[in-house]
Chains A and B, each alone.
Chain A
Amino acid sequence: MKLFAVISKSLKEQVRSYWVLLLTLSMGPFFIFVYYLIVESSKPQYDILFVNNDKGVVVNNNRVNHGERLINYFTIQLSDTAGIPFRVKETGDRNLGVKTLKEKHADALLTIPEMFSENVMAKTNSDSSNTEPVEFMGDLTNTSYLISAVWAGELLNDYMYQATGKQKMVSIAEIPLGSSGTLDDFNLVVPGILVVSLIMLMFTSSIAFVSEVENKTIMRLKLSGVTTLEFLGGIGVVQISVGVVSMLLTLLTAILLGFQYEGSLGILLLIAALTSMSIIAFSLVIASVTKSANEVLIVGNFPMFLFMFFTGAAFPLKSEALFTLAGYPINVQGLMTPVHAISALNKALVMNMSLLSILPEIIAILLLTLLYFIIGAMIFRHRHLKLA
């Protein structure tokens, strides 16, 4: 009964501290919106510029220009390639093409030689390999050129195969991993930002705990004989609910802005609840070393910074594993639960993997939550709940 009374009281206080609640709930959706704007404004576009010097050949009284056909082929093929934003342009003069390239109005310049049609015809009738090359020009340090060149080379080979009937030595088959084939940058950052929405719980939870100390109402609770577990549990239940609502709001915002949601909602809610618990347990550590909401806002900034920027929540982060445990990589950042939550969300939302496959992450979150809780509860009890 005491637990329900603490839950009810904590819920009322949380709702009435609506500015803090509003900030916590809006942070996730806000980040999603910001990332959406960033990703949308920087969506890649690869421009391939052609200079067609091909003079063509006459076959059966018909003029054939394989250079024109090649450009046409590129235009059709690239417009059909899902998710690859290529654009084919043409210019009449190589110098003009180079200038366009330097001005970064194109990513790759392909110059078709004068004898291109003749070479194609010759290759059709024999195994001649003495052909004048198609010239690829671009900035080798620019990934846009590299991507454009790879695709252009592949398409050129395809065209040559079609035009000459000569078998390609190697053909490439591209298979996307999970739904990555249809995902853009925005889709890839969403799992991290879902965790950001939970990291913000650090403030509401710490303030909920420490306000009892700041208002000195902890003295009344001590006199009433309420147990540490009832007190912490009551506040914890409300904060977990805030966390789950926060994550769902963030997810909803992401879906409205085009996030392609895969995987089970049940798994998502499970990860949200477990991660919320871990953040609340960590908040207890913050509340243990502070005495007021102001101190929480100052002290809490440091762990929030670590949780946001060193776990891959706000930005993708790669780190070397120190060792592996039953095949699961362990690194220094792994001491922070968001690392495991993001990994679990990526597996569940992007790769559509099952609950069993995120078991290592769930175990890691549970163990760390227990560790945070033991440390937090011990210090909190010693500093704020124990008799003097």
Chain B
Amino acid sequence: MIETEVMDNIIELKHLTRKFGDLIAVSDLSLEIKRKEIFGLLGPNGAGKTTTISMICGMLEPTEGSISFKGFGGKEPKSLIGYCPQENIFYPKLTCMEQLVFMGQMFGVNKITCLERAGQLLTLLGLSDKAEEMAVNLSGGMKRRLNICLALIHDPEILVLDEPEAGLDPQSRILVRDFIRRFGESKTVILTTHNMDEADRMAHRIAIIDYGKLLLLDTPHNLKRTIGEGDMLEIVPENSSGNDVTGFIDQVSALVPQINNNPHTLLFRHPDMLEIMPSIKRIADEMGFKIAEFKLRQNTLEDVFIHLTGRNLRP
């Protein structure tokens, strides 16, 4: 977790709304993104994350509201942003080097600079030995990394990543994560993800959106505090016929209330959970309540996310 320094706003979304017919994908969304910030956008499927970043990147026009970029001396917003979409998009019949140079040239960068920058990016993302390989022949993880290189070839001020770790093996994930962190030291990164761990580890601030609306925006640390102080006890009952889950919950609730509504994984939170854990264990033993797992942990972003967006699957 990285704490936010005081930084200037470089992107301001004001009352941003985007409608597709009757569907309101993004509704009255207002937020600011700061310079040299890694900004996470969390939300379930269909929450409006991709629509929001598409508007930031200039691929979609807002139905209402505005997006302003500050401190770039009137530069064309498109040239400020490097967009790495969720889907790997590249020219299958060009080599890694060829397509990086081509995309750089499309952004108006001269060929020599493109060649230099492409070489650096391929090295940083572990693709230097694949520079002359046609993209179609790369593995899934390599294609994902090439996708990131393509977003950065014109040296943008803002890198927008849609699910950057999707489909990556653990080694590639670490490489990409380190790369994003390093990039975020000098530039701005906006990332959307379903991976709470990824967001928690990397983002300075996180916005949680659902049904196109902003639910919470804060640092990961503060977000975790919003759903309550203290540690979390997670109890997974054994699936035995004699287990009286309801009776157990009733008795434990006298000490600490259950914070979820799931009979298969019982969650309890208390500011001093270590103190009351022995009492909970004693209740279980006295009732003959069999426990498969008994786990003490801190609040996670997933807890926050589920707390805010619920457990229901989204269409």
A residues in contact (CB < 8 Å) with B: 1-2, 5-6, 8-9, 12-13, 16-17, 215-217, 219-226, 387-388
Q: Which residue of A lies closest to B76 (CB)?
A: A225
Stretch at the interface among B28-36, B97-105, B120-128: B97-105
Cβ-neighbour of A13 out of B91, B101, B106 (below 8 A): B91
- B59 partner residues in chain A, CB cutoff 8 A: 219, 222-223, 387-388
Within 8 A of A (CB), among B114-170: 134, 150, 154
How many Å from the CB of A216 to the closest CB on chain B? 5
**B178 interface residue (CB < 8 Å to A):** no
Q: Which residue of A lies closest to B102 (CB)?
A: A9
- Asked if A220 contacts B106 (CB within 8 A), the reply is yes
Map CB proximity to A onto B225-262 as digits: 1 under 8 Å, 0 otherwise. Answer: 00000000000000000000000000000000000000
Map CB proximity to A onto B50-68 as digits: 1 under 8 Å, 0 otherwise. Answer: 0000100111110000000
Q: A12-B98, A225-B78, A225-B79 in contact; A215/B92 too (CB < 8 A)? A: yes
- B87 partner residues in chain A, CB cutoff 8 A: 216
- Asked if A388 contacts B89 (CB within 8 A), the reply is no
Q: A1-B105, A16-B93 in contact; A9/B83 too (CB < 8 A)? A: no
Interface centre among B78, B92, B105 (most CB of A within 10 A): B105
Q: A220-B150, A225-B107 in contact; A9/B98 too (CB < 8 A)? A: yes
- Asked if A387 contacts B61 (CB within 8 A), the reply is yes
- Number of residues on chain B facing chain A (CB within 8 A): 33
Q: Given known contacts A2-B108, A225-B106, what 8 new A-B pairs fall within 8 Å (CB)?
A: A2-B106, A9-B94, A219-B59, A225-B76, A387-B60, A388-B54, A388-B59, A388-B60
- Asked if A9 contacts B91 (CB within 8 A), the reply is yes
How distant is the Cα of A223 from the Cα of B77 in the complex, in angstroms?
10
A and B contact pairs by CB, cutoff 8 A, 10 listed: A2-B106, A9-B99, A13-B93, A221-B106, A223-B81, A224-B107, A225-B78, A225-B108, A387-B58, A387-B60
How distant is the Cα of A209 from the Cα of B92 in the complex, in angstroms?
15
**B90 interface residue (CB < 8 Å to A):** yes
How many Å from the CB of B117 to the closest CB on chain A? 15
How distant is the Cα of A388 from the Cα of B59 in the complex, in angstroms?
7
Q: Which residue of B lies closest to A8 (CB)?
A: B102
- Asked if A5 contacts B58 (CB within 8 A), the reply is no
